[in-house]
């Protein structure tokens, strides 16, 4: 489950277990369903959601139906399939040119506007742990240079693939699964700021890590107090996002909530 935070701090959450997208306005005590529900056009285990401001619509990774759906932002009762037959589609993001980057089984593909086939920009060489491979990738982030950052869930690392590269480089983890500051355990949500600092939600270690550019180890910024349900704890964190004010939002999946933290950083 991932989330998107709009400029007005409205939160959109891919509520995978309930096959829907929820919208929570800033300060609201309850949310509303903005996509999904019952009927022929329902969603099946959606994994990610973003907002396309140009077309005032939601773009949803409809994982269970192996497709990406565009859903009208306001008063939409059904969505349209814009990309189909994506095996195990998970995370997605849009760059400044309007191209979509979508995570599949062992690769990330870029779809320029109007394309239905896409181009592999990370992985695509079968599942594995080599630098040109991914193993159960989950989420993706794209920076201003169109470099792709992928949470390589099964390999317990975050990979960076520069535009046009044939293989990636490890920017976080990559030292096997573990809970030391040089390791990750099942990384999920990933965001990168304009300095190249990587923020990653560790599903397996119940914490959020920050890895400065070029660092060989990270630091814990949320989750130093072990897993649990207290306000300073997480339990299987999944999605990760920053708003334009620098607040960090975490999908705390095991506690069925979204947590908000104030973190010093410089987001892209």
Encode pLDDT of 118-146 as tens digits: 999 999 999 999 999 999 999 999 999 99
Share in percent of the chain as helix, strand, coil (round to 5): 5, 45, 50
Whole-model pTM?
A: 0.94
| Residue 6 covered by a domain | yes
Question: Which is it for the CA torsion 181, 246, 162, 130, positive or negative?
Answer: positive
**pLDDT of amino acid 39:** 55
Q: Quick check: 76 pLDDT over 80?
A: no
Q: Quick check: 149 pLDDT over 90?
A: yes
Q: Which residue has the higher pLDDT, 77 or 103?
A: 103
| Residue 250 covered by a domain | no
Q: State how far the Cα of 30 lies from the Cα of 8, in Å rounded to an integer.
A: 17
Residue 35 near residue 27, CB atoms below 8 Å: no
Q: Cα-atom radius of gyration of the chain, to the nearest Å?
A: 17
Nearest to 197 by CA among 137, 237, 246: 246
Q: State how far the Cα of 80 lies from the Cα of 151, in Å rounded to an integer.
A: 28
For position 7, which CATH number holds?
A: 2.40.10.500
Q: Quick check: 265 pLDDT over 70?
A: no
- DSSP letter (8 states) at residue 203: T
Nearest to 14 by CA among 94, 84, 90: 90
Residue 205 near residue 223, CB atoms below 8 Å: yes
| Residue 260 covered by a domain | no
| Residue 96 covered by a domain | no
| Residue 79 covered by a domain | yes
Domain range holding 58? 1-89
The number of distinct structural domains making up the chain is 1
* Residue 145 neighbours by CB distance under 10 Å: 8
| Residue 56 covered by a domain | yes
Q: State how far the Cα of 134 lies from the Cα of 127, in Å rounded to an integer.
A: 6
Residue 138 near residue 153, CB atoms below 8 Å: yes
Q: What is the pLDDT of residues 199-241, one digit of tens each?
A: 999 999 999 999 999 999 999 999 988 899 999 999 999 999 9
| Residue 21 covered by a domain | yes
| Residue 43 covered by a domain | yes
């Amino acid at each position: 489950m991932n989330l998107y935070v709009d400029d007005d701090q409205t939160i959109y959450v891919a509520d995978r277990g309930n096959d829907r997208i929820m919208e929570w306005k800033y300060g609201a005590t309850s949310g509303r369903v903005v996509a999904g529900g019952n009927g022929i056009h329902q969603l099946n285990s959606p994994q990610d959601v973003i907002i396309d401001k140009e077309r005032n619509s939601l773009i949803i990774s409809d994982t269970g139906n192996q497709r990406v759906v565009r859903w009208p932002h306001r008063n939409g009762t059904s969505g349209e399939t814009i990309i189909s037959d994506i095996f195990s589609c998970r995370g997605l993001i849009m760059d400044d040119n309007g191209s979509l980057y979508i995570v599949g089984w062992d690769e990330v593909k870029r779809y320029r506007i109007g394309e239905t086939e896409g181009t592999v920009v990370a992985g695509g060489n079968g599942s594995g742990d080599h630098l040109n491979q991914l193993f159960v990738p989950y989420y993706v982030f794209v920076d201003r240079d169109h470099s792709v950052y992928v949470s390589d869930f099964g390999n317990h690392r975050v990979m960076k693939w520069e535009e046009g590269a044939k293989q990636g480089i490890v920017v976080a983890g990559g030292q096997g699964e573990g809970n030391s500051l040089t390791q990750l355990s099942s990384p999920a949500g990933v965001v990168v700021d304009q300095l190249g600092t990587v923020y990653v939600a560790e599903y397996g270690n119940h914490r959020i890590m920050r890895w400065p550019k070029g660092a060989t180890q990270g630091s814990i910024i949320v989750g130093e107090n072990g897993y649990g349900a207290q306000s300073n704890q997480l339990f299987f964190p999944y999605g990760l996002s920053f708003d334009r004010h620098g607040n960090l939002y975490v999908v705390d999946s095991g506690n069925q909530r979204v947590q908000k933290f104030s973190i010093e950083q410089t987001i892209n």
